[in-house]
Structure 1
Amino acid sequence: MPLPFLTADRAFEPAAESALPYDDPDRWRRPYRPGPWRVGGAALVLLLASFALFGSVLVAVTGSLSTAGVVLGVGLAIVAGALRLLRMGVWVSGRGLRRTGFLVTRTVPWARVVSVRTVQQPVRWLGLPRTVQGQALVLVRKDRRPEDTPPLLTTHGLDFLGRPLAFDRAADAVEAWAAENGRG
């Protein structure tokens, strides 16, 4: 079964008219693979969900269907949370740039993007309040100040902690999408 949220960039030979390796530029795609911290966290959450789902079966067998329904609902909510955790990140298409968070997804059309660039700055370590020196891919928009926009990707996030080359490839891919779609 294909898992489209796990698709990533592939080796390609760029076409003459476009630097982007995709046939359908209007389809939303993540230009990098989810990192081991994100996948490992989602696996642990799914393990917790398996216990909740198994518990709902046990509660249903012992006789309390209403309690089993509540436990089943909790288990399904945990599965939905794990899938949402895997979908988090930056997605691009010909229409714009989409930053998917756990609860909120924001889309910025390419017409409002001034630039996407990599900068050296203090970044949050695994999304926690602690900051360390690292690199961040920042989005400069026409309608907002740069300091009002959180970084798109960081070297110390769930996807790129301990993988600086993966961060560089992902940042280059997002910058290429911005350069390609900013011309039109």
Structure 2
Amino acid sequence: MPLPFLTADRALDEDGPAAGDASLPYEDPSRRRRPYRPGPWRIGGGALLLLLASYVLFSAMIIALAGSVPAAGICVGGAALVILCAVRLVRAGVWIDEKGLRLTGLFSATTVRWSQVAAIHTAQQPVRWLGLPRSVQGQAVLIELAEGGAPRVAFTDHGADFLGRPEAFVMAADAIEDRAARYR
């Protein structure tokens, strides 16, 4: 079963069969897609959340068999919330299409149209390690908006997708910069 939210945009790879092509043959070019594969930290976190949800669902079954259906319902609701968080965690990241960038986080999502983007570049700066409050020196892909203001951080090399994968970070940064140059 194909999982489109886990696939990378191979059309942006230079050595792929569709190099220079705007989309894969079976994809709609206007459909949002991620220009990189989710990293092992993001997939591992989602898997741990799903494991936790399975334990909570198993405990809900035991509680229901013991005769306390309302308490089992609370457990099922908690498990559904954990499953929702796991799905949101895996879907978090940068998504691109011909209209703009979609910066998706765990609890929020922001769309930036290509006409609003002044520049996209990579900068060396302190970044958060795996999204935690601890800062380390690293690289970040910054989106500068045409109307000014502080640049937005699209992703960093110490995030859940690129920690320990510097070549994937460079490829994703180049892909987004190329796409921005094409659509602006």
When normalised by structure 2's length, the TM-score is 0.91
Where does residue 78 of structure 1 map in the other structure?
82
Letter in 2 for 1:7: T
Select the residue among 149, 167, 170 that pairs with 1:168.
Answer: 170
Secondary structure of the residue aligned to 2:152 is coil
Displacement over 6 Å in runs of 4+: none
Where does residue 8 of structure 2 map in the other structure?
8
Q: Which runs of 5+ in 2 are unaligned?
A: 11-15
CA distance in 2: counterparts of 1:87 and 1:141, whole angstroms:
24
Where does residue 52 of structure 2 map in the other structure?
48
- Aligned runs of 1:99-138 on 2, under 5 Å? 99-138=103-142
Contact 1:14/1:21 (<8 A) preserved: no
1:89 aligns with 2:82: no
Contact 1:12/1:21 (<8 A) preserved: no
- Aligned runs of 1:131-150 on 2, under 5 Å? 131-145=135-149, 148-150=150-152
CA distance in 2: counterparts of 1:2 and 1:13, whole angstroms:
19
What's the offset of the Cα at 1:22? 4.0
CA distance in 2: counterparts of 1:143 and 1:118, whole angstroms:
20
CA distance in 1: counterparts of 2:65 and 2:148, whole angstroms:
56
Secondary structure of the residue aligned to 1:90 is strand
CA distance in 2: counterparts of 1:89 and 1:63, whole angstroms:
43
Identity, in percent, stands at 51
Letter in 2 for 1:43: A
Contact 2:144/2:152 (<8 A) preserved: no
Q: Which runs of 5+ in 1 are unaligned?
A: none
CA RMSD of aligned residues (A): 1.3
Letter in 2 for 1:13: A
What's the offset of the Cα at 1:109? 0.7
When normalised by structure 1's length, the TM-score is 0.91
CA distance in 2: counterparts of 1:111 and 1:77, whole angstroms:
36
